[in-house]
């Protein structure tokens, strides 16, 4: 089950096929042969650098980086759709690897849009030169995440992480958690409150902060139930000083971050879809070769019905994802609504696909070394990535009915 290639450009077809070969020949064999490595408590020992090196050789680690700096820049009219195609293929092999790579894509787009020229000249070549170089986007905090986006635009909703102008720079203090690539990134985009007297949407700024900046400490790797080949991290800022020119957007950072968030929803849905496709493909092979009750599994009506349900859910997710991706690429009025719809729909439908996969594999579905339960765990994580499903639904209603929808947040009356 895949995208209709007749609708794709030649560039998209070639990239999709190259990624599929990379997954089938490199990633999937590694994951199946080394399933125990997912559970190593040393984050540096899980996914070997060689996997990132091979992804880099294919050009998929530096998507979104301008060509002048050595990156692979896509057709701007279909960039988000192409991100989705590639993210699906990579997640079909491993969603954690997809998480590692897509953070680079999204942050690269953010930097090429807002970073001053001299910072692009400094950091993009470093990113391109080092296959292990990862980027991270630091927004979520211990006491504020998806709920901040309803929005409830008052000072009480502001970031707890603060940045204060001092001399010719900024001093950042605060904590970020649940940060994708947070444990091992080399460069961070950090959001902080810079004006506590105004609402969140007017008082939040973003900064570019290198990992080796004094005062930045990576305190832990969060041990998650799924997507474990991406090292999610927690970061503390204690009198962390960044130069004035490392300020990306002052005051309106959240409003300007749509270039990161909208493609992010599409990519999130696409990663989820890739997990579902892997579950379907492996289940289809299994039920056509495994004999139970005197006949091949697929000949049992209950099994056939579930397989049809899996295929239908995947097709529906892909159709909505394609429409949403095209809307984001076109900056259409309905893009905000559709990208949130795609994220929610994919996370719930693909989890059901993976549940069917586990049950159709019987006892094998629960065995760690068989690999099906991993797909179920990975799918479960997507309910909470890039906003929870309930918050996303509220955002959908807010975007459809802005004049009448509720505030959904703030102190009780």
What's the CATH class of domain 256-400? mainly alpha
Nearest partner of 176 among 160, 158, 164, 155, judged by Cα: 160
**Per-position DSSP letters for 66-102, written without gaps between them:** -GGGT-B---TTSHHHHHHHHHHHHHHH-HHHHHHHH
Q: What is the CATH number of domain 136-252?
A: 2.40.110.10
Superfamily of chain region 5-133: Acyl-CoA dehydrogenase/oxidase, N-terminal domain (1.10.540.10)
| CATH 1.10.540.10 domain residues, the chain | 5-133
214: number of CA atoms within 13 Å, CB side? 3
CATH 1.20.140.10 residue window(s) in the chain:
256-400
Per-residue pLDDT of the chain (413 residues; tens, 9 = 90+): 566 677 899 999 999 999 999 999 999 999 999 999 999 999 999 999 999 999 999 999 999 999 999 998 899 999 999 999 999 999 999 999 999 999 999 999 999 999 999 999 999 999 999 999 999 999 999 877 666 666 566 666 778 999 999 999 999 999 999 999 999 999 999 999 999 888 888 899 999 999 999 999 999 999 999 999 999 999 999 999 999 999 999 999 988 888 888 999 999 999 999 999 999 999 999 999 999 889 999 999 999 999 999 999 999 999 999 999 999 999 999 999 999 999 999 999 999 999 999 999 999 999 999 999 999 999 999 998 888 898 899 889 989 998 898 776 666 55
- Determine if the peptide bond prior to 24 is cis (ω within 30°): no
As given in the structure block, the two tokens for residue 232 are 């999610």
d(CA 28, CA 98): 13
CATH 2.40.110.10 boundaries in the chain: 136-252
Residues linked to residue 193 through DSSP beta bridges, in sequence order: 162, 204
Give me the pLDDT at residue 201, please: 83
**Separation between Cα atoms, residue 114 and residue 327, nearest integer Å:** 22
């Amino acid at each position: 089950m895949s995208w209709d290639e007749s609708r794709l450009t030649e560039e998209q077809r070639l990239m999709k096929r190259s990624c599929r070969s990379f997954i089938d020949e490199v990633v999937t064999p590694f994951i199946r042969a080394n399933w125990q490595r997912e559970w190593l408590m040393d984050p540096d020992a899980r996914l070997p650098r060689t996997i990132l090196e091979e992804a880099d050789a294919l050009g998929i680690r530096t998507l979104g980086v301008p060509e002048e700096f050595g990156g692979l820049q896509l057709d701007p009219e279909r960039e988000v759709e192409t991100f989705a195609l590639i993210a699906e293929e990579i997640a079909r092999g491993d969603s954690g690897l997809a998480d590692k790579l897509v953070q680079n894509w999204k942050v690269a787009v953010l930097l090429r849009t807002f970073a001053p020229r001299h910072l692009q000249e400094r950091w993009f070549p470093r990113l391109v030169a080092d296959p292990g170089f990862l980027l991270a986007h630091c927004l979520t905090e211990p006491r504020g995440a998806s709920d901040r986006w309803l929005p409830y635009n008052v000072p009480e909703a502001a970031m707890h992480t603060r940045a204060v102008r001092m001399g010719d720079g900024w001093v950042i203090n605060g904590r970020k958690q649940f940060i994708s690539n947070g444990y091992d990134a080399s460069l961070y985009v950090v959001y902080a409150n810079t004006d506590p007297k105004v609402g969140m949407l007017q008082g939040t700024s973003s900064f570019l902060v290198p990992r080796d900046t004094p005062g930045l400490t990576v305190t832990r790797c969060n041990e998650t139930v799924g997507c474990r080949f991406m090292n999610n991290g927690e970061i503390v800022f204690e009198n962390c000083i960044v130069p004035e020119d490392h300020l990306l957007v002052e005051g309106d950072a959240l409003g300007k971050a749509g270039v990161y968030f909208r493609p992010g929803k599409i990519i999130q849905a696409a990663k989820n879809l890739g997990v579902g496709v892997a579950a379907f493909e492996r289940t289809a092979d299994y039920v056509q070769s495994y004999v139970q009750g005197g006949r091949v599994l697929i000949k049992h009506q209950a099994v056939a019905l579930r397989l049809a349900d899996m295929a239908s859910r995947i097709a529906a997710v892909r159709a909505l994802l394609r429409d949403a991706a095209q809307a984001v690429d076109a900056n259409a009025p309905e893009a905000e609504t559709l990208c949130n719809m795609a994220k929610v729909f994919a996370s719930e439908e693909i989890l059901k696909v993976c549940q069917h996969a586990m049950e159709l594999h019987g006892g094998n579905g629960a065995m760690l070394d068989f690999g099906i339960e991993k797909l179920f765990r990975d799918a479960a994580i997507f309910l909470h990535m890039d906003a929870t499903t309930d918050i996303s639904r509220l955002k959908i209603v807010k975007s459809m009915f802005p004049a009448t929808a509720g505030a959904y947040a703030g102190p009780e009356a």
